[in-house]
Structure 1
Amino acid sequence: MKKNQLVVGFPIDEGVIYVQNHDAPGIMSPAYNVWNIDLGRVDPSYLEFALHSPRSMAYYADKMRGTTARRRTLTADGLREMKILLPSADGQIRVVNTLDEVRSLIEGANGQIAMLDTLVKSRFVEMFGDPISNSKGLETQQGSALFKIVNGKTKPMDERYETGFPAYGGNGVSWYSQDSLVDFPTIVVGRVGRHCGNVHLVNDPCWVTDNAMYIKRFHSNELDLIYLDELMRVVGFNRYADRGDLWKITQQPFMEFNYPMPPLAQQQELAAFVRQVDKSRFNLLKAYGSIIALFRVLFP
């Protein structure tokens, strides 16, 4: 594809639609479609913003067709029929310049949040060493001696969307149910998909979907939950995932892993540090939410 051509992929409702902005020709999957842009009517950068707006994303989700979730597509006629806001050429440039500034703010906020995550990981390794090699020679216990982990469950469709407690899957909150399944606090782990092995520390009652698993019972009183959550993050259990067509992970690596067990007081020292960092993360997320809201006001 050439510069200023539009490539449409799938799943389009996840934003897989971009303008080629490099001078050199690009290579792409033959499963994707390439469109020419009428450069006399629309600025390519403006068009890319328009095609990723909340209004456009909702349109894709409503018009997509297909039987397999991640292979559902939008027909060419469906894309052509979609209407976008089209100000004058000067107006398009003003919108692009403003949204570029907003995007820079978003990237800056994301970078600061990532730095906080790195800070916690560095503090963990400083205190306890590499948990995979147990580089500080700490006493260890196998996961099966520390907790019981089970797969999540589903609920009938008519109950999932009722107002109630959040439900967690491999990528965080996914739907709601009227009842609570999980004793809390606990740790939820993604079980299938690209987010398998990701961990979520859950402090409120929730359901856990069948694409995740969670710690149902703890066998040890010498285990701080925040310490365990950070330990699992540093280990990165997705390294043990089966990376076939559909990534998946079983309970086995969590149960067989030998978890370094420093004295409880040291675990709690790390937990106190994490709480302080979380306060900074919370403030950043509030600012991030304000920036996203600004983006949606500028480009509904």
Structure 2
Amino acid sequence: MAKLLEITGKAISGEWGQDDDTGTGIPVLRTTNFTNEGFVNYKNVVTRSISKKNIAEKYLRHGDVIIEKSGGSDKQPVGRVIFFEGEENKYLFNNFTGLLRVQNPEEWLPKYVFYALYAYYRNGGTRAFENRTTGLHNLQVDNYVKSVDIPKLSYRKQQHICETLDHVRDAVAYRERQLTKLDELVKARFVEMFGDMLLNSLEWPEKPLEGLADIVSGITKGRKTTETGLIEVPYMAVSNVKSGYIDWTTIKTILATKQEIEQYRLMPDDILMTEGGDPDKVGRGAIIKNPLKDSIHQNHIFRVRLDKSELLPAYFAEYLQHQKAKRYFLGCAKQTTGIASINMRQLRALPVLIPPLPLQNQFAAFVAEVDKSK
């Protein structure tokens, strides 16, 4: 195992710093600057005015591995790592993170150690070293690092592995940027064809959603039923419905009656919309194009089945991501402890602008071509 020195981050308050409104203070990396791919996200880096003088050892150096010590969740364990390749002696890190600095770099290439820790995290290896206090997940870094068995290879072999994985990681990042550009292209095309939704600049007619679709809530988990012969079927949860796409990473199952399966069964081109979430994401929705056999949806999701003689799924799914729909949901949502939610009545009343069907068809064809590129 590589010999590592952990340097614990300090709280960015008191002698270690106060908020710096000028932007000229010392930049501090936090867990919000971590990415699941191991890159440093330099957006929203905070700066602090540091009063303590002896902070030389706290500055990050090229090749440092920063590990997430506190935070995480049941779905995303603590222990993410990022590899620092930025400017030396410029950045600090806060107390929710720790720094792992290889002490014998002549034997262990720092990036090789990073990739090994990254693999352990992605394979769930950090979960055994978590404890939880006051709702936070905390990583027992010393015990974790000592337990990780990194294969000892020649320095040249380590370099070869890192070069290979660098190419793979760069290729993945490049493809993700391409996907982002394609999404931006769809949004630009939408505005070009239909105008500003908020201002209704092209003066399209408007109708409430209830006159354009069949809208139902889903099955309630934990409900009581006296029927026998329940059938295990897949169901879509809130975690599966993102803004503009369906996340198939984890699909759960539920026991349901034949009647419930008939009532809630999802069909191709249904729109799934969430009941609640972060205020800026309430009412998010996506098309489920190829639902699994006999799949249904939970009660925190609305299923919207459109009348395609007036409103096409491709148009409506994109409409939900623009300001007219977003502001409507934000304006009527009930908010408690940072979570916003809408009810069936509010969703039914959503005002929808309705361009001519041939124009919607043109947009749907454009989206289909973009999807092929994806």
TM range (shorter): 0.7 to 0.9
Residues 155, 120 of structure 1: alpha-carbon distance in 2 compared, 3 angstrom cutoff: same
Q: Take 2:326 and 2:145, find their aligned partners in 1: how far apart are those partners? A: 37
Deviations 1:257-281 (A, max 9, x none): 4221012222122212222222222
CA drift of 1:45 comes to: 1.8
Residue 370 of structure 2 corresponds to residue 267 of structure 1: no
Residues 72, 55 of structure 1: alpha-carbon distance in 2 compared, 3 angstrom cutoff: closer
Higher alpha-carbon deviation: 29-38 or 190-199: 190-199
Query: Structure 2 stretches of 5 or more lacking a match?
Result: 1-57, 223-230
Match of 1:74 in 2: 139
- What SS does the corresponding residue of 1:73 show, helix, strand or coil? strand
Residues 31, 224 of structure 1: alpha-carbon distance in 2 compared, 3 angstrom cutoff: same
CA drift of 1:54 comes to: 6.0
Q: Which fold has the larger relative contact order, with Cα–Cα distance below 8 Å and residues 6 or more apart in sequence? A: 1
CA drift of 1:95 comes to: 1.2
Match of 1:30 in 2: 95
The letter of the residue matching 1:28 is F
Match of 2:277 in 1: 192
Q: Take 1:166 and 1:271, find their aligned partners in 2: how far apart are those partners? A: 27
Equivalent residue for 2:312, pick from 208, 224, 230: 224
Match of 1:137 in 2: 203
- What SS does the corresponding residue of 2:139 show, helix, strand or coil? coil
If each structure's strand is expressed as a fraction of its own residues, which one has the higher value? 2
Query: Structure 1 stretches of 5 or more lacking a match?
Result: 157-161, 282-300
Residue 275 of structure 2 corresponds to residue 183 of structure 1: no
CA drift of 1:127 comes to: 1.1
- What SS does the corresponding residue of 2:92 show, helix, strand or coil? coil
If each structure's helix is expressed as a fraction of its own residues, which one has the higher value? 1
Identity of aligned residues (%): 21
Match of 2:53 in 1: none
Structure 1 or 2, whichever has the larger Rg, is 2
TM norm structure 1: 0.75
Residues 219, 98 of structure 1: alpha-carbon distance in 2 compared, 3 angstrom cutoff: closer
The letter of the residue matching 1:231 is Y
CA drift of 1:98 comes to: 1.2
- What SS does the corresponding residue of 2:321 show, helix, strand or coil? helix
Instruction: Give RMSD over aligned pairs.
Output: 3.5
The letter of the residue matching 1:130 is D
- What SS does the corresponding residue of 1:59 show, helix, strand or coil? coil
The answer to whether the Cα contact below 8 Å between 1:7 and 1:34 also exists between their aligned partners in 2 is yes
Residues 14, 188 of structure 1: alpha-carbon distance in 2 compared, 3 angstrom cutoff: farther
Note the 1:241-260 alignment, pairs <5 A.
Answer: 246-251=338-343, 254-260=347-353
Q: Take 1:248 and 1:135, find their aligned partners in 2: how far apart are those partners? A: 29
Q: Take 1:148 and 1:21, find their aligned partners in 2: how far apart are those partners? A: 53
Deviations 1:229-271 (A, max 9, x none): 1211334866655898644342477545422101222212221
Residues 5, 154 of structure 1: alpha-carbon distance in 2 compared, 3 angstrom cutoff: farther
The answer to whether the Cα contact below 8 Å between 1:149 and 1:213 also exists between their aligned partners in 2 is no
Residues 195, 208 of structure 1: alpha-carbon distance in 2 compared, 3 angstrom cutoff: farther
The alignment of Structure 1 onto Structure 2 pairs a total of residues equal to 275
Deviations 1:58-104 (A, max 9, x none): 212344332787x3232121342122334222211111111111112
